[in-house]
Amino acid sequence: MYLIAEVYVSPSNNAVIPPFTSKVGKTMLGGVKDGISVSPLKKGGKYLVKYSNLPTLMEVEEGEIYSFEVGGKSEDVVEALINLQERKAFNTTWKVENVKMREVKVERKDLVEVELLTPALLVDPFKKDRKKRFTNAFFVTFAVNYMDHFHVSREEYVRVALSLEEKVREEPSTMKYVKVTYAGKEVLGMMGKFRYSILEKDEEIYAVLENALAKGIGSSRKNGFGRISLK
């Protein structure tokens, strides 16, 4: 079972934060172990990410409530929250105000819409390469999720990747490319809304979607890239 824990926090004073803010949550958790992802900060239901060619900074306000998400298998999320505590990050102390947990469950429908909420860095499923793929093909978009959920290697995934295309069909979708500064480096990622028809209601497909909803898609998920919503 996958869980998402939404952690509500507030800064003790006004502070300037980077344009990609997942370090706040990672700091409050005392670091991030394998098995979970941590989102950027959220405010009013939107992730605080600035898309720009320049390292534009943002400001948080004293006493305002922000949140971040911790997603993964239930046991991994619970273990991560054990270390959650008030900590200092970006010249302010972040206090824990509340934690809400929700189970990740994807409805078994024939059509799904995947909205990318933070830039996705899609890996090449066929070979290890620093260069990313820019496509909405299901077997590329969810390659990391399949390998993660079923504990298979890239070599093993290659043998089943194309068979996924027999079960899922890409529908007209929208996509664009955005740049964000992360850890002092400019990163190019994908955004948009990807639509898929589920041709075979295979439980493997829905398990992969639940992994994606909890932990994100693509690489650098633990840093908050590839956060999605499903409709």
Nearest residue to 58 (alpha-carbon basis) of 42, 39, 37: 42
Q: What is the pLDDT of residues 170-228, one digit of tens each?
A: 999 999 999 888 877 888 999 999 999 998 888 999 999 999 999 999 999 998 999 99
Question: Are both 88 and 137 inside the same structural domain?
Answer: no
Percent of the chain with pLDDT over 70: 98
17-48 confidence digits (pLDDT tens): 888 888 899 999 998 888 899 999 999 889 98
Its pTM surpasses 0.85: yes
C-alpha–C-alpha distance, residues 154 and 179, integer Å: 27
Instruction: State the helix-helix crossing angle for 143-150 and 203-215, rounded to 10 degrees.
Output: 100
Question: Are 68 and 119 in the same domain?
Answer: no
- The DSSP bridge pattern shows strands 66-73 and 111-120 to be unpaired
Are residues 86 and 118 both part of a single domain? no
3-state secondary structure of 175: strand
Give the number of domains in the chain. Answer: 2
In this structure, what CATH number is given to the domain that contains residue 52? Answer: 2.40.30.310
